[in-house]
């Protein structure tokens, strides 16, 4: 797409292996697993999955007022914390009241966020109250807390941003879709600054039971959760549900340069497709993923052999990992053997609609620090997954160009193309 060049100037995250990009980077380098026993689900009776990648040590009052925390779901609290870090990291000024101070009304700033299931913890909690205590006991703030658009709307309200604010929902590709939409706004000159990414906090008895019953979650590692998420490994048997948020600040290059911003990376383009195959399963031939990666390369003006690294969707499910491997080999041909491919989900689990945001940040951090982060728990190679998955230990490796894949239930495929910025 011709138009303005787009760069990443700020990043913020809340993840099961670290709150804030510094903690996150350190844990990624060390190959830390965020999986553990369920601690935030009070009633686990009858569940056959008792593990998750939960965020530890998060206090919303560290990032927002008590009033804001009280009227928001955990998914929105995560997004507000990640947004605040990303805005500060970008060097954008905040007033004493915490409002973004760029122009008179911040109409040239957009917030575009993604979420998979929105305020689901609130939905389950208030349904239980309705059934056990009656309609009059339902929280009058239930709707503002559970509505999916809250992850963007509260950001607009909290930082006093008057530009377009919206939430994208495309299951597990939601964050990448939001970032792609934000990219378009900047390329077309409809915004100077965008705040985008994803947030989800869907760990609950209902979600665990539903994902487990459909065969998506691993049930084999309740006694040893840290080895449960094992993308591309022969013994993978399902994903580990996680929670968190990943947010990036993107700007038109000229705008970022004019204000002297530090630039992390340049976003070159994206590809977005639909399988039109099955409501939950990926197409077996990888056609949708193939098209998304090829579109990203075409928009970015890249040849396959210019790509150094792919942050894979890599869920640790038998079907997805095999399909993604097939798709990468189809797009990159013999050059696929030269690629580094790894899955951040081996460490953080599957953050649902937040996954793409956290994974793009991991991709950019790796570029910045000449490091390729590993796929942990990779012990038994699968003949059908035969790429270099960077097993178990981070590599000191320069990467200049990378793709970041996200694929979602419903057949959604979004691939982002980024490169190290050379000023």
**Would you name the residues annotated as active-site residues?**
172, 313, 350
Report the Cα 190 to chain-centroid distance in Å. 24
Query: How is residue 124 written in tokens?
Result: 């389950």
Q: Which 3 state secondary structure label does DSSP give 155?
A: helix
Distances (CA, A) of 61 to 67, 69, 70, 154: 9, 7, 10, 15
- By C-alpha distance, which of 365, 58, 2 is closest to 186? 2
Region at 153 (left for phi over 0; alpha for psi -120 to 50; beta for the rest): alpha
Q: CB within 8 A of 59, min separation 6: which ones?
A: none
Number of CB atoms found within 10 A of residue 2's CB: 4
Residues in the chain: 423
What is the spatial distance between Cα 83 and Cα 81, in angstroms, rounded to a whole number?
A: 5
The angle formed by the CA atoms of residues 110, 115 and 121, to the nearest 5 degrees, is 130
What is the spatial distance between Cα 57 and Cα 34, in angstroms, rounded to a whole number?
A: 13
Query: How is residue 273 written in tokens?
Result: 């497709």
């Amino acid at each position: 797409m011709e138009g303005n060049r787009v760069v990443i100037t700020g990043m913020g995250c809340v993840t099961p292996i670290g709150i804030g990009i510094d903690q996150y980077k350190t844990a990624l380098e060390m190959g830390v697993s965020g999986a553990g026993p369920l601690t935030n689900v009070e009633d686990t009776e009858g569940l056959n999955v008792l593990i998750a990648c939960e965020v530890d040590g998060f206090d919303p009052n560290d990032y927002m007022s008590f009033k804001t925390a009280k009227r928001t779901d955990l998914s929105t609290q995560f997004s507000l914390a990640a947004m605040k870090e990303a805005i500060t990291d970008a060097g954008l000024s905040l007033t004493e009241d915490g409002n973004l101070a760029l122009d008179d009304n911040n109409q040239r700033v957009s917030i575009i966020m993604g979420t998979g299931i929105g305020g689901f913890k609130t939905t389950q909690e208030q349904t239980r109250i309705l059934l056990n205590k009656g309609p009059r006991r339902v929280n009058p703030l239930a709707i503002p807390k559970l509505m999916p658009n809250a992850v963007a709307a509260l950001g607009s309200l909290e930082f006093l941003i008057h530009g377009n604010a919206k939430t994208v929902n495309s299951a597990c590709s939601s964050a990448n879709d939001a970032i792609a939409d934000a990219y378009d706004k900047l390329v077309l000159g409809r915004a100077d600054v965008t705040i985008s990414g994803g947030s989800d906090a869907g760990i609950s008895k209902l979600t665990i039971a539903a994902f487990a019953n459909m065969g998506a979650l691993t049930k084999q590692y309740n006694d040893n959760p840290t080895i449960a998420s094992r993308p591309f490994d022969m013994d993978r048997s399902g994903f580990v549900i996680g929670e968190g948020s990943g947010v990036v600040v993107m700007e038109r290059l000229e705008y970022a340069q004019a204000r002297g911003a530090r630039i992390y990376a340049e976003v070159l383009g994206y590809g977005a497709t639909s399988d039109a195959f099955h409501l939950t399963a990926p197409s077996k031939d990888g056609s949708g993923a193939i098209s998304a990666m090829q579109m990203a390369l075409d928009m970015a003006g890249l040849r396959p052999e210019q790509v150094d690294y792919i942050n894979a969707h890599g869920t640790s499910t038998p079907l997805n990992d095999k399909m993604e491997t097939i798709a990468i080999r189809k797009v990159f041909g013999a050059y696929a053997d030269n690629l580094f491919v790894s899955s951040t989900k081996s460490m953080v689990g599957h953050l649902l609609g937040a996954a793409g945001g956290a994974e793009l940040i991991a991709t950019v951090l790796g570029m910045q620090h000449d490091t390729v982060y590993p796929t942990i728990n990779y012990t038994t190679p699968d003949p059908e997954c035969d790429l270099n998955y960077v097993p178990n230990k981070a590599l000191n490796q320069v990467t200049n160009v990378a793709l970041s894949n996200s694929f979602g239930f419903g057949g959604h495929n979004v691939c982002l193309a980024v490169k190290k910025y050379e000023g």
